[in-house]
Chains A and B, each alone.
Chain A
């Protein structure tokens, strides 16, 4: 059995985030197969397996940040799985460095295929750059015409066996979806790494997580007052997000599955509540995390949050600030949005989308008339694999109750 460790991501990078697992537990892997992709704030890269066998165990999920050198997966013979299960190393919480499991010799096949595998080939083709323009590369007349007609750059096209054929050009066009149009019809915006990462992660989140949405309307009279009182008393600005974060702690005590993640084998329920607040930057979306909210007062939460936001906006921050979140809050109130739904931030199972506070007429039974109340919507997105509909609904209602009667938070 071989331990697959997080490889280094370049200079000054101590940890990397797992973007995608390309293989699942139980898959056969060969040496050189791409196991997963990881990223730093700057770049994404593929991690190849240096062992052959079956992927026996994955220790970190997508979205998790892992220290370089930490064991992220085990590859070996399926017979060995029973043995690992018994051992302490099965849980990643155990210090991986401690030699609790005797690592047997890698089961390497003595024989390897003569023909390169598809991934090998792709790698090789990728690496092949034509540096000397068309001095040696031959281009078929049909290919030349296509290149001209489509205004392509000949250097972008990969030749097959030293020659660019019509087929090579057609494939290039297909791959790049270049329509033979005038460039003036559109503008091309190259994908930044941040954009690629956002796109990859969100697509995966939506594809792999069956979600449901549920919404509550909250009468904010009391929390508006609370904010005002806190400011008058302490001269500290507390945001609605901070108050919601504080209320969340109580709700999670009652409904722990809200603050959890799912692995291949089990659901892991977190003891601490680490609340991420989505912050929109010019070309990126960052979710700094306030950790151990259950141990903090509202003022402390507010202080941590505003520090985080300032750090993130300054652009210079340690990726650690965005790590180990267990639940996320996204607030679009300042953009005057009444209600919206958010996409889960894997591996979390809950994200709360907060709308603006707006005065709405509410029927008052006692006074028998409509009364204007400051209302706010909270729309929850839940991972249905972990959180059931009724459970989510009850959680949201408790949250509503606490926010409408903040004193209950003391209970």
Chain B
């Protein structure tokens, strides 16, 4: 019987990051993956969608410049070629992860593995013994059979593999996946309606931000049906489906569409029966219960990533796996922190958030100041012709510490990380003002002006607007 220090189950961000981290401790590691190294993120999630959204953004730019007559005869594009390029990106990245694992001396098995005891794994007929186990089996798309009993809707994985642009798509669920897919396929020419049960989108953001965001998407022709309940999906003819829902006024509506995308959430990849047998604690939704050291109720077994529940994000998964492995092999105890999880939506325009929102501050009874600055006042944004959007900064009133930010607009997903540094270091508005010089011209100046605006000190905001 082969003996390992750590066996990782799952080759997604949590799994491969955990394995690589453990390798830094000089440990002997095996990693089992039943499908493809890279998991959802690399194969059918973050990375392929970004490959598509970059092309979507390119098309939007060409359209803008053609309308302005900078370009003439915009020409044609091939979705097949975009797909091909997307697949190349995915292959390169998964090959990269594969070779990192090999270089780290991790034994990679492309097999399904089963935990038979806290120290034993069975894969096929072989049993492997180990000191620790890291469960990183992730999550998969949730489909809803109550309104889709014939399984006519696509999940995001299926949608990524279609070989031509549908002319009509209805998206159920206005979460991050739904919104990104809406934005991407809208750019490729698909007419889109998003049907969402909640009366507003993205409840974790402030509603002034989400309203402005929704408006931008509506301007591009994406239709929102909020507060709407899907009743049924049926097949009408070859490649045509009819989705019936009641809208916010209780009126029944129906849309004939090529594709229905169901993006209503994800479910854990958990073997409930086996968990029960092992006495491994899972919650009512099937997510594995861990403490803040990422340890399950069975001391040798740790879990990380989507399988431990929200937020289901690759960057959270990687961080959790690293915390888990540190707690296995170092004396210093490490704790997971969920305060500063950046949340990014790669749509056009993009939306990003970190730290507290005004809504959350209010729930915590924290008195705050808000600073806002619009892209249109920024030289770089003007030069890039990306003048849509704004940054909103949340500052604690008492000590002027910057505690959160939301950015809508070009590069917001990159800009937000500056705030991560600021918030993690508990920087105040005055400290930022004294210590930080922002290069000119950059979009980062938007952040600077928004931070200064919280204290009414933005010199690029008209005086008349200041209260």
In the complex formed, the residue of B with least CB distance to A48 is B167
Closest Cβ of chain A to B336, distance in Å, is 40
Indicate whether A186 reaches chain B with its CB closer than 8 angstroms: no
Selected from A50, A111, A131, the residue in CB contact (under 8 A) with B78 is: A111
Selected from A3, A7, A132, the residue in CB contact (under 8 A) with B256 is: A7
Indicate whether B46 reaches chain A with its CB closer than 8 angstroms: no
Q: Among B9-17, B69-77, B262-270, B343-351, which stretch is in contact with chain A?
A: B69-77
Selected from A7, A48, A115, A128, the residue in CB contact (under 8 A) with B218 is: A128
Q: Is A111's CB under 8 angstroms from B77's CB?
A: yes
Indicate whether A116 reaches chain B with its CB closer than 8 angstroms: yes
Q: Is A11's CB under 8 angstroms from B254's CB?
A: yes
Q: Which residues of B contact A136 (CB under 8 A)?
A: 212, 215
Please provide the chain B residues from 316 to 350 with a CB less than 8 Å away from any CB of chain A in the complex.
none
In the complex formed, the residue of B with least CB distance to A111 is B76
Please provide the chain B residues from 38 to 68 with a CB less than 8 Å away from any CB of chain A in the complex.
59, 62-63, 66
Interface string of A1-36 (1 = CB under 8 A from B): 001010110110000000000000000000110000
Q: Is A5's CB under 8 angstroms from B167's CB?
A: no
Closest Cβ of chain B to A103, distance in Å, is 10
Task: Tell me, in angstroms, the Cα distance from A259 to B78 when the chains sit together.
Answer: 51
Indicate whether A216 reaches chain B with its CB closer than 8 angstroms: no
In the complex formed, the residue of A with least CB distance to B254 is A10
Q: Which residues of B contact A113 (CB under 8 A)?
A: 74-76
Closest Cβ of chain A to B40, distance in Å, is 29
Closest Cβ of chain B to A95, distance in Å, is 17
Please provide the chain B residues from 166 to 195 with a CB less than 8 Å away from any CB of chain A in the complex.
167, 189, 191
Q: Is B254's CB under 8 angstroms from A127's CB?
A: no
Task: Tell me, in angstroms, the Cα distance from A217 to B239 when the chains sit together.
Answer: 57
Task: Tell me, in angstroms, the Cα distance from A120 to B167 when the chains sit together.
Answer: 10
Task: Tell me, in angstroms, the Cα distance from A112 to B165 when the chains sit together.
Answer: 9
Indicate whether A129 reaches chain B with its CB closer than 8 angstroms: yes
Task: Tell me, in angstroms, the Cα distance from A127 to B217 when the chains sit together.
Answer: 12
Q: Is B66's CB under 8 angstroms from A114's CB?
A: yes
With most chain B CB atoms within 10 A of its CB, the pick from A5, A11, A32, A114 is A114
Indicate whether A123 reaches chain B with its CB closer than 8 angstroms: yes
Q: Is B79's CB under 8 angstroms from A112's CB?
A: yes
Q: Which residues of A contact B77 (CB under 8 A)?
A: 111-112, 114
Indicate whether B92 reaches chain A with its CB closer than 8 angstroms: no
Given contacts A108-B164, A111-B77, contact A123 B240 (CB under 8 A): no
Closest Cβ of chain A to B280, distance in Å, is 47
Indicate whether B24 reaches chain A with its CB closer than 8 angstroms: no
Q: Which residues of A contact B62 (CB under 8 A)?
A: 114
Please provide the chain A residues from 284 to 317 with a CB less than 8 Å away from any CB of chain B in the complex.
none
Interface string of A237-254 (1 = CB under 8 A from B): 000000000000000000
Selected from B80, B223, B252, the residue in CB contact (under 8 A) with A127 is: B223
Q: Which residues of A contact B189 (CB under 8 A)?
A: 112, 116, 120
Q: Which residues of B contact A110 (CB under 8 A)?
A: 78-81
Closest Cβ of chain A to B415, distance in Å, is 23
Interface string of B21-33 (1 = CB under 8 A from A): 0000000000000
Closest Cβ of chain B to A11, distance in Å, is 7
In the complex formed, the residue of B with least CB distance to A51 is B239
Closest Cβ of chain B to A309, distance in Å, is 33
Indicate whether B283 reaches chain A with its CB closer than 8 angstroms: no
Q: Is B167's CB under 8 angstroms from A31's CB?
A: yes
Q: Which residues of A contact B238 (CB under 8 A)?
A: 3, 5
Please provide the chain B residues from 78 to 119 with a CB less than 8 Å away from any CB of chain A in the complex.
78-81
Q: Is A7's CB under 8 angstroms from B240's CB?
A: yes
Indicate whether B242 reaches chain A with its CB closer than 8 angstroms: yes
Q: Which residues of A contact B219 (CB under 8 A)?
A: 128, 162
Q: Which residues of A contact B236 (CB under 8 A)?
A: 7-8, 68-69
A residues contacting B by CB (< 8 A) are 3, 5, 7-8, 10-11, 31-32, 48, 50, 68-69, 108, 110-116, 120, 123-124, 127-129, 131-132, 136, 162
B residues contacting A by CB (< 8 A) are 59, 62-63, 66, 74-81, 164-165, 167, 189, 191, 211-212, 215, 218-221, 223, 236-240, 242, 244, 252, 254, 256, 258
19 A-B pairs in the complex with CB atoms less than 8 angstroms apart: A5-B237, A7-B240, A8-B242, A11-B244, A11-B254, A50-B167, A50-B239, A68-B236, A111-B78, A112-B78, A113-B75, A114-B62, A114-B63, A114-B76, A115-B66, A116-B63, A123-B191, A136-B212, A162-B219
Closest 10 CB pairs of A and B: A124-B221, A111-B76, A114-B74, A5-B237, A115-B74, A32-B167, A8-B236, A111-B78, A110-B78, A127-B223
Q: 12 additional contacts, CB 8 Å, given A110-B78, A115-B63?
A: A7-B240, A8-B256, A50-B240, A110-B79, A111-B77, A112-B77, A113-B75, A115-B74, A116-B63, A120-B189, A123-B191, A128-B221
